[in-house]
Structure 1
């Protein structure tokens, strides 16, 4: 039996195409697959709303990337910024690199993980006796050029938050011990989920997420029944349930692949870019990350819909997801941050939804 079939039967994943509702969450994840430089997504919502299920369902849709064979860092053979030191040295020596295509990986970061497990460890004894840099890669190495998923991210220990902040900012992970230092690329899409009742995120980490999706419990009774029935069908016979969605999954995968190819051709009017920056300025958004992410997300949505020219409607759909978590919190204000962003958009663009 092929390895993929064994995996399918031992640990089937709920299909992404079967997930009902939660459009903000699904759109945010899809846009990050199309353009990883958007910078990830933070999903906040009530317990039992399918946050983890949806993120893990994304694995089936991830495209393939070119990697160096037997390299623990998923090095890109064409981009020195995404290569390990070893691969770069081999290139400088004019060695022939074996290359293969591999699906983008999704790595789970457990809440109780140690810093060594996340960053990797250096074997000091081997380094001293044999004179080689003996490095055991961690989760950040495995997540390079992939997705790093942290469930209940608001409960993550502060020292691991600092590690993630450093890696997310620089794109590199450095491990130092007893005078020995090893660095490797750690460029990943950071995806986090959490329940706001269990605590707020540190502002520094929240700002690292490109997008912020808020999800709530479905109120419509008919929709709730449909979700319950789907879950029961999946639990009863996961393989058969997945077969019913094979066509939808393949269609979505192809659409994502086309969008990634089309993204380079998508254009946005200069006037729209000015208005996006005006909105960020009017809302007192710190820094320029909000402007950059909104531009990228608008283009990714345009590509996903098979077009090459960004419209105001595209921007209107993504701008609350890109800015709501960057607004300064006013405890006396009752308006939802997403609605505040939409109101400012309508004012600046003169737009009626």
Structure 2
């Protein structure tokens, strides 16, 4: 089976790559929404990210990747109680998926063959402690969006149907991608993404040529291409692991808190989720860059991806949301 295209080999799209790295360092940031043109590497980047994620400790055979034997749900079948290292789950949620497939449902096969009432876990169980990826997220059916909103808020999946009463943890980083020409995202779901980035097709010839060259090499000379980029991916993975370890020790001065609040007030951000996301992303960036405290430079670097999707519409301002945030950053955080 082919490995995904290496993350380090993706040409350009620095904001998208940075956003994904920050969520890998601190999953509490809240996920990434990537909107942009078709064929700009959105899905490629998400699948490449999986190879960079540090492994997790989990109970062997547990359908929700429990971190210890006492956390294994009583309905789980096949959990051995033995701890193993496993890859961080990265689960695709396809368009047209059924509610039963997302939440889980009665195991029909066991009910018919053994007469047992058992729970068959769904995609939310598999994604626990990992990533849930939705391509064309703006085309997702409304009733599935409602389910995701409920679970994203509580961190728990509750199934009450067909005589079953099941609860299990469902904490995951939500990653969505889509093309804005195909429809907008519901505001309630949009607010659940911590970071949002816009990607566009490269405009210069040299960049486009390099994209073509690397993709062609991946397809025609796969083994050599993977070996060429393996050291870069390994180095990036080590930086992510080191940043995770340093995250708790990164200091947050009061000036950074004031900057967060001032900027969110200036752009008219509703609620306090913008400030919290901005602070977490800046702290993750500081840890990634090896700095011991959050500075204004960190805040300015992550502000567009943290706040652009939280702006209210302004019919009198024709500038895009990212441009409006950058303009506000220049005024509030000179």
What range is the shorter-chain TM-score in?
Answer: over 0.9
How do 1:14-33 and structure 2 match up within 5 A?
14-33=5-24
1:188 aligns with 2:188: no
Aligned to 1:75: 66
Equivalent residues of 1:104, 1:145 under 8 A apart:
yes
SS in 1 for 2:74: helix
Q: Distance in 2 between matches of 1:105 and 1:309?
A: 31
Equivalent residues of 2:247, 2:283 under 8 A apart:
yes
Segment drifting more, 334-343 vs 183-192: 334-343
Q: Distance in 1 between matches of 2:266 and 2:252?
A: 21
Aligned to 1:314: 298
1:12 to partner: Cα distance: 2.6
Unaligned runs of 5+ in 2: none
How do 1:1-353 and structure 2 match up within 5 A?
10-77=1-68, 83-86=71-74, 97-123=81-107, 134-349=118-333, 351=334
SS in 2 for 1:86: coil
C-alpha spacing 1:217/1:128, structure 2 compared with 1 (3 Å): closer
Equivalent residues of 1:84, 1:185 under 8 A apart:
no
Q: Distance in 2 between matches of 1:123 and 1:220?
A: 54
Segment drifting more, 338-347 vs 117-126: 117-126
Segment drifting more, 46-55 vs 171-180: 171-180
The two structures have a TM-score, normalised by structure 2, of: 0.94
Equivalent residues of 2:131, 2:173 under 8 A apart:
yes
1:209 to partner: Cα distance: 0.3
TM-superposition CA deviations, 1:287-318 (whole Å, max 9, x none): 11111110000000001111111111111010
The number of residues matched between the two structures is 331
Equivalent residues of 1:154, 1:194 under 8 A apart:
yes
SS in 1 for 2:202: coil
SS in 2 for 1:290: helix
Equivalent residues of 2:250, 2:293 under 8 A apart:
yes
Q: Distance in 2 between matches of 1:123 and 1:13?
A: 32
Q: Distance in 1 between matches of 2:26 and 2:108?
A: 39
Unaligned runs of 5+ in 1: 1-9, 89-95
| Root mean square deviation, CA, Å | 2.1
The two structures have a TM-score, normalised by structure 1, of: 0.89
Q: Distance in 2 between matches of 1:229 and 1:288?
A: 45
C-alpha spacing 1:132/1:288, structure 2 compared with 1 (3 Å): farther
SS in 1 for 2:209: helix
1:279 to partner: Cα distance: 1.4
Equivalent residues of 1:276, 1:291 under 8 A apart:
yes
TM-superposition CA deviations, 1:17-63 (whole Å, max 9, x none): 10110001000000000000000000000011111111111111010
TM-superposition CA deviations, 1:45-94 (whole Å, max 9, x none): 0011111111111111010111111110011229x8xx343299xxxxxx
C-alpha spacing 1:84/1:333, structure 2 compared with 1 (3 Å): farther
Q: Distance in 1 between matches of 2:229 and 2:202?
A: 22
Equivalent residues of 2:119, 2:164 under 8 A apart:
no
Equivalent residues of 1:154, 1:201 under 8 A apart:
yes
1:252 to partner: Cα distance: 0.7
C-alpha spacing 1:223/1:125, structure 2 compared with 1 (3 Å): closer
Equivalent residues of 1:256, 1:304 under 8 A apart:
yes
